[in-house]
Amino acid sequence: MFESSNPEGLVTDTQVFLNEYDFIVIGAGSAGAVVASRLSEISDWKVLLLEAGGEEPLAADVPGTAAVLQRSKVDWTYRTEPQTDACLAFKDNRCNWPRGKVIGGTSVLNYMMYVRGNKRDYDQWAELGNEGWSYDEVLPYFIKSEDNRNPYLAANRKYHGTGGYLTVQEPPFKTPLVTAFIEGGVEMGFDNVDCNGAQQIGTTDGTLHSGTIRRGTRCSTAKAFLRPVRSRNNLHISMHSHVHKLIISPSTKQATAVRFEKRGKVYEVKVNKEIVVSAGAINSPQLLMLSGIGPAAHLNSFGIPVIVDLPVGDNLQDHPETVDAALTSLAGSAASDSGPVLRDNFGFREDVWNEYFAPIVNTDTLQIAPWLIRPLSRGTIRLASSDPYAAPLMDPKYYSDPKDLDTMLEALKFSLALSKTTAFQKLGIKVYDKIFPGCESHVPWTNDYWRCLIRYTTASAYHPSGTCKMGPSTDATAVVDPQLKVYGIKGLRVADCSIMPYLVAGNTNAPAVSTNFF
């Protein structure tokens, strides 16, 4: 007999809909699952949660399947527009952008890092005129959601909570490389810190760094926020429900209903109080534009009647990472699985793979992948057509601001210096010294060579944000106000990472879960 690895039970897929709900939440991902769960705490409110994907697969419980779940049926399998300054080693100069199409959203296929960002991130939002969003004001929401099961961290009640829905726990296993990173960091003058505490500059190990993990398995937002409340009669969860558009009265500018398709049948369900769009930084702006909310000229080009002219889809930000920096020793890199999964997850071209990675397929390798956590470059999300099933055009414009490339260069040089510390050297680690394809014209190991390598091997750290920017009424670039209400439309909010004015200096899953005011 096998013990169930799903003790909370799966959610029920609603087949019959009410004519009207008090709230309709679109997207059951890192933010939407939380929003629907919180709203349904009020028993008198009838809540409908719509998700384009299905139930999370049992395999997702295993943390190591994160790479395998990318490009599977639970992934939207998005790719960026061709880049001129990044992604140059990938097919068609396009970066893969994994996004969860499943109950739990991207929290089902991410790498489970629980990182809130830096105090300055939220204080900067507040300084822009977003009242209520300073670090001291959002910290209680992080603590409220958290069930931290590390006794060392949980004892610090100023920064951590217990008893919340979201289990936060250290990984049950750590490789010897963890020790090398900590010792190497100490050699370079850095402290070992709790990255969700008072200080973020430093190193963090398996004792002080936590993930969305529960007893060694993934704790997605579906597992944390939806399964425990699946028996609430006032919460209906509908899977395989692809939203076509929001129904908005052109005269009153009131959001009145949602049109979606479920298994070949189109429904139009009314809303009494509010629609909350939590479809993420790609699909939220896409849905708003399909519904007539967005840049007027762009919508007119597809024959979409403009209800409100707003800069929807602008301000796109992401954390680019350099994914080459291959070092030979142990652990993993893009060459670790001989090519069947990781090569295509990154999207490396065949010629690049054969020339650069194939020679080290049977070698123990690790990959240091520095991130650019405060990018200056800005991109856009735009419609490809008025078809709600057509993937939008995603153009992050990586390194369009040249200062970003200079910063990443310093990060890469820092990583190389770390590899030369005593802690790394005693493991026998050395830098792979093959010249990267496309960078042969540059003198090896010079700044120009490293800049070339960065442009060729930059990929996404999976943190698109900012495309429905939050700002005060005086901000002409804002789409939503500090209460996340869409300007010019009644009964409509956006609650996900698309509202971030500036991308946080960390992973975006924890902010998506904890800072949406629900």
CB 372 within 8 A of CB 406: no
Distance, CA of 28 to CA of 491 (rounded, Å): 19
Give residue for tokens 């479809």.
279
Q: Check residue 514 and give its pLDDT.
A: 85
Domain residues of the chain, as ranges? 1-56+102-135+217-317+466-518, 66-98+318-463
463 tagged catalytic? yes
Cα dihedral angle (134, 135, 136, 142), rounded to 10 degrees?
Answer: 120
- Integer Cα distance of 238 and 246 in angstroms: 17
pLDDT in tens, the chain (518 residues): 223 344 557 899 999 999 999 999 999 999 999 999 999 999 999 999 999 999 999 999 998 888 899 999 999 999 999 999 999 999 999 999 999 999 999 999 999 999 999 999 999 999 999 999 999 999 999 999 999 999 989 999 999 999 999 999 988 877 888 889 899 999 999 998 999 999 999 988 766 678 999 999 999 999 999 999 999 999 999 999 999 999 999 999 999 999 999 999 999 999 999 999 999 999 999 999 999 999 999 999 999 999 999 999 999 999 999 986 576 556 677 888 887 888 888 899 999 999 999 999 888 888 888 999 999 999 999 999 999 999 999 999 999 999 999 999 999 999 999 999 999 999 998 899 999 999 999 999 999 999 999 999 999 999 999 999 999 999 999 999 999 999 999 999 999 999 999 999 999 999 999 866 55
Under DSSP, is residue 280 helix (H, G, I), strand (E, B) or coil? helix
Strands 430-431 and 166-168, how do they pair? unpaired
What is the pLDDT, as a whole number, of residue 297? Answer: 98
Distance (Å) of CA 73 to CA 101, 279, 466: 8, 17, 26
* C-alpha span between 303 and 135 (Å, rounded): 42
Q: Which of 17, 75, 52, 5 is nearest to 227 (CA)?
A: 5
pLDDT at 2: 28
CA–CA gap between residue 110 and residue 60 (Å, rounded): 10
With CA atoms as reference, report the closest residue to 168 among 190, 193, 191, 195: 195
φ/ψ of 6, rounded to 5, equals -130, 65
pTM here is 0.95
Q: Which of 111, 34, 23, 21 is nearest to 496 (CA)?
A: 34
Residue 12: its pLDDT value, please? 92
Q: Which residue among 160, 209, 236, 463 is the active-site one?
A: 463
| Residue 271 annotated in ligand binding | no
- Distance CA(478)–CA(467), nearest Å, equals 9
Residue 106 known to bind ligand: yes
Please tell me the predicted confidence (pLDDT) of residue 173.
78
- The per-residue pLDDT for 405 is 97
Contact 248, 291 (CB under 8 A): yes
Tokens 């080009």 identify what position?
301
Q: Would you say 103 and 55 are in contact if contact means Cβ atoms under 8 Å apart?
A: yes
SS (H, E, C) 162-220: CCCCEEEECCCCCCHHHHHHHHHHHHCCCCECCCCCCCCCCECCCCCCCECEECCEECC
328 in a known ligand binding site: no
**CA separation for the pair 326, 353 (Å, rounded):** 13
Span 1-56+102-135+217-317+466-518: which CATH code? 3.50.50.60
β-sheet bridge partners, residue 489: none
Q: Enter the tokens of residue 130.
A: 């977003």
Q: How far apart are alpha carbons 50 and 288 in whole angstroms?
A: 16
3-state helix, strand, coil in the chain (%, to 5): 30, 20, 50
